[in-house]
Chain A
Amino acid sequence: MSGRTIELVVVGAMLAGTLIAQTQIAQTQIAPTQAAGTHKDYRFNVGPKAGVSVNNPYGSISVKPSTGNVVVINAVLASDKVEVDNNLAGNRVDIQSHLLPGADAQSGRVDYEILVPADASITLHSTTGSLRAEKLHGDVTLEGAAASVDVRDISRAHVHVKTLNGPVTITNVQDGHVEVDSLSGEVTLNSVTGPLVQVISTSGGIHYIGDFGDRGEYRLTSHSGDIEATVPETTSADVSARTVRGEVHDDVPLLPKTHTWFPITQGRTFTGTMGQTTMSSTVVLRSFSGKIHLRKRTSK
């Protein structure tokens, strides 16, 4: 073997070794990315008061306001057994996590971070993931079976929530039209006011913390879940509470009404007015077998 031949063999071996090493490095770089999920980004230009709908069987959805009339969607797909279908029709964006054959709760999971114009109306649906919407003033509709729901900083909008057993937390909603239906999830409303605030729960508890606004209608109803309303002293409201088999407790001094359309039973009902009657909201607390407790908020 001549010196020239040996030189060629050595150079070839070095090139081959370099190629193999690069391939291995590339593979080790790709593997973590797949484990962490595949990122997909979508961007849609929309007009005022756009509609955005996201249907995601497994995974979380979080919506925040964007700057300008643009919808930005960042999706993290857990595997190649799920894909994101998207559609822009007029002023409406529809996103659907499309489960492919063999997908399950883990491999079919998609987590969304979405930015929408603040005046957009959104409809979010997830079976298991968390649903979160904040700082919007368009209508918000959230549905989920076991999904936890967190809505905050919404104004002048409808907020509709439906859950099977996921907990619902709604915070700082002003001038809202709020309707919450939950079968067994705990529902917590903190500083939620508006013309209509209604919560219906079968077995989950309902907690209201706030002043019931002014001239609104507040209806908190449960079958077996407890209802607890914590109000500041400055609250103005016409309050009535009734339970069939549970108990009522009242820590707030109420001005008794001279006339009621239902019989007053000690320990099962109370009714009266607190604060200024001219600015008062109507508050109805009703449970069949749960406890109802109207308590005064202690200043801390």
Chain B
Amino acid sequence: MNCVELQASLAETEDSSNSEQQQAHLKTCRECSALVAELNLIAATAIELRAADEPSPRVWNSIEIALRQEGLIREGLIREGTTRPARAGRSLLPSFSSRWAWARWALPVAAALLIAVGVYVRQHSLVVQLTRDTAPPATVSGDVSDAAVAGLNDDDLLQEVAQLSPAAQAQYADNLRHVNAYIQDAKSVVAADPNDEEARRSLMEAYQEKAMLFELAMDRSLP
């Protein structure tokens, strides 16, 4: 028995100690021996948790139904009068009661994870693609909300200066109005000529002015 055969046999064997071939290989192979030692440790820990974490029969039934719908369970393997599939008098679904049964769950769990990851990646790439296809560059369309730009929310600023004197508050409000007008004008010029580099620079400078307004309002030295 080589390493591949041993690792394949682990999932099929209820108790590794029963296999003479396994024992013979483990005596000569340090890596497999270490692997089995780790598996034994995990299995022992899993057994301790089994009583508390055993899923309810409804869970098993749901899994069975799903597997049957996917054609992964053959009808011939299901015992008469039971909802649980069987193989050689035992449940097809591995039970945590067997020492190496956890390994049998590895394949379906890995498959489910792969499917989930695949679905996520596909959906994500679709969203990205849609975004690329439908959304023009922000600097060209000028369709950028103030809040999207570094969180420059006007209400935040007004709230920040609320503790200042009425005159100072009026100054900030006035400057906020001016800088917003600056941004709108810059946007309109960029929209009129997206290739105008100076116009794009103006838009950036307008946002820079607004950022500075926020910086001054939130300055640490203000009482």
Contacts and interface: CB of A to CB of B under 8 A. Distances in A.
A21 B159 CA distance: 56
A221 B212 contact: no
A103 B223 CA distance: 9
A108 B221 CA distance: 12
Interface string A143-176: 1011000000000000000101100000000000
Interface stretch (B43-51, B139-147, B178-186): B178-186
B209 A183 contact: yes
A202 B209 contact: yes
B198 A164 contact: no
Interface stretch (B71-79, B94-102, B129-137, B200-208): B200-208
A242 interface: yes
Contacts of A284: 198
A57 B223 contact: yes
A115 B3 CA distance: 79
A289 B186 CA distance: 11
Interface residues of B, number: 28
Q: Interface residue tally of chain A, by bracket?
A: 20 to 34
Is the contact region of chain A dominated by helix, strand, or loop, or is it mixed?
loop
Contact of B219 (A103, A145, A200, A289): A145
A55 B198 CA distance: 36
A212 interface: no
B38 interface: no
B222 to A, nearest CB: 6
A151 B99 CA distance: 81
B213 interface: yes
A220 B216 CA distance: 22
Given A202-B179, A288-B182, A165 B221 contact: no
Nearest to A164: B216
A244 B185 contact: yes
A183 B209 CA distance: 7
Interface string A191-206: 0000000001011000
B209 A200 contact: yes
